[in-house]
Amino acid sequence: GLDLLTFGEALVSLRAAGPLAAGGALTMHLAGAEANVAIGLARLGHRTAWAGRVSEDELGGYVLRELRAEGVGVDHVTRDPERPAGLMFLERRTADLTRVRYHRAGSAGSALSVEDLRPALAAGAHVLHLTGITPALSDSAREATRWAAETASRSGALVCLDVNHRARLWTRDAARAVLTPLAGYASVVVASEDELELVGEPGADEPAVVAALLDRGVETVLVTLGADGARAYTRDGVREAAALPVTAVDTVGAGDAFTAGYLSGHLDGLDLAGRLRRAVTLGAFAVAGHGDWEALPRRDELSLLDDLQPG
Ligand code: KDG
């Protein structure tokens, strides 16, 4: 069987080197948090598949070509002849500020339904990865996400929910109402510090949200801290991992890389310290290179950053 199945919306990302309002050349890339995670794992040699709906046109063809080229299985992808590809424009507004503009309402990916995911879930995988982006896309995508999480957790798969709040898609209250129940199906929950409150009671602090998640059967809560690394909570307590001291040139995709590294460590049978080490290593590769996933390491490159010294 597969090591990891993930699903969601893959986007065609059009990147401008400067402000979008100034025009100029755009470059075309595959984006989408779940596709980024799938590629991160496939580069490390794990058997990985991505499921979702893609447009029937050239842009959908491009998405499939990129996933295949990276070794991600696309056997259970649905082609949609009616709806367009979801697009994302990314502008480098300043050296430190990247802004995103979506053209994804009514897209092929947003029409995801339970029926689209049934064959992929029937084929099974050790790990099911999902994000809090997919349930924000449409009612049918929300139901598909809940169904997939429930089905995979019943079958004994490790379910990983990566919160990934997208403020341009829904409000924090709408996200919390959907993501808090969804977290109950997960063994691993990944959230940044400010996202954690979206899988708990409104206004609850980190210890309270973590305690409630662990009570509900979540085994590991990973709180990502950007340049400060991450904290991992389990029933045995909390463990911290520092980020690797790389020069950050592009932070988009760092969270996805972190999650891919953690899950790769899990699939390799590493202990918590080893899983965290792999997670911060992939995060470092992602921020040190341009693009969501282009800079992610192959297995023989994993130790490339080991000798970096802070400062
Ligand atoms: O994590 C990176 C993603 O945000 C990007 O690839 C696009 O999935 C995406 C989204 O919906 O924002």
Confidence check: pLDDT of 236 > 60: yes
ipTM of the complex: 0.92
| Cβ of 33 below 6 Å from ligand 1 | yes
Nearest-CA residue for atom 7 of ligand 1 = 32
Ligand 1: nearest atom to the Cα of 252? 2
Band of residue 307 on the pLDDT scale cut at 50, 70, 90: confident
**CB-CB contact of 270 with 278 (8 Å):** yes
**Taking 80 as the threshold, does the pLDDT of residue 311 lie above it?**
no
- Looking up tokens 């390491």 gives 297
**Phi, psi for 151 (deg, rounded to 5):** -60, -45
Q: Is the CB of residue 221 below 6 angstroms from any atom belonging to ligand 1?
A: no
Ligand 1 within 6 A of CB of 169: no
Pocket test for ligand 1, best of 252, 259, 294 (most atoms within 8 A of CB): 252
Segment 109-120 mean pLDDT = 98
Distance 307 CA to ligand 1 centre (A): 30
Q: What mean pLDDT comes out for the span 259-271?
A: 98
d(CA 34, CA 5): 9
pLDDT for residue 309 is more than 80 = no
CA of 32 to the centre of ligand 1 (A): 4
Closest CA to 113 of 149, 141, 79, 84: 141
- Three-state secondary structure call for residue 305: coil
pLDDT at 310: 57
Between CA 174 and CA 186, with CA 180 as vertex, the angle to 5 degrees is 135
What's the average model confidence in pLDDT over 121-136? 97
A 10 A CB-CB count for 311 gives 3
Quick check: is 256 catalytic?
A: yes
User: How far, in Å, from the CA of 224 to the mean position of ligand 1?
Assistant: 16
| pLDDT of the residue at 122 | 97
Residue 62 pLDDT? 98
pLDDT above 90: residue 299? yes
Residue 118's SS3 state is: helix
Q: For a pLDDT cut of 90, what percent of the chain falls above it?
A: 92
Which residue's CA is minimally distant from atom 10 of ligand 1?
A: 32
Range 210-236 average pLDDT: 97
Q: Is the pLDDT of residue 29 over 80?
A: yes
**Tokens representing residue 172 in the block:** 């924090």
Q: Find the distance separating the first CA and the last CA of the chain, reported in whole Å.
A: 44
Average pLDDT taken over every residue of the chain: 96
Among 117, 90, 93, smallest CA distance to 26 is for 90
For 2-8+33-75+118-301, give the CATH class.
alpha beta
Determine the distance separating the centroid of ligand 1 and the alpha carbon of 164, expressed in angstroms: 8
Instruction: Judge whether 214 and 235 are in contact, CB under 8 Å.
Output: yes
* Nearest ligand 1 atom to alpha carbon 169: 11
Nearest C-alpha neighbor of 125 from the set 34, 50, 39:
50
Q: How confident is the model at residue 223 (pLDDT cuts 50, 70, 90)?
A: very high
CA angle 77, 42, 92 (to 5 degrees): 85
**pLDDT digit string, tens, across residues 188-201:** 999 999 999 999 99
- Gap from CA of 36 to ligand 1 centroid (Å): 8
Q: What pLDDT score does 98 carry?
A: 86
Q: Which of 282, 279, 276, 309 is nearest to 294 (CA)?
A: 282
- Which tens digit of pLDDT belongs to each residue from 63-109? 999 999 999 999 999 999 999 999 999 998 887 788 999 999 999 99
Catalytic-labelled residue, pool 3, 116, 256, 292: 256
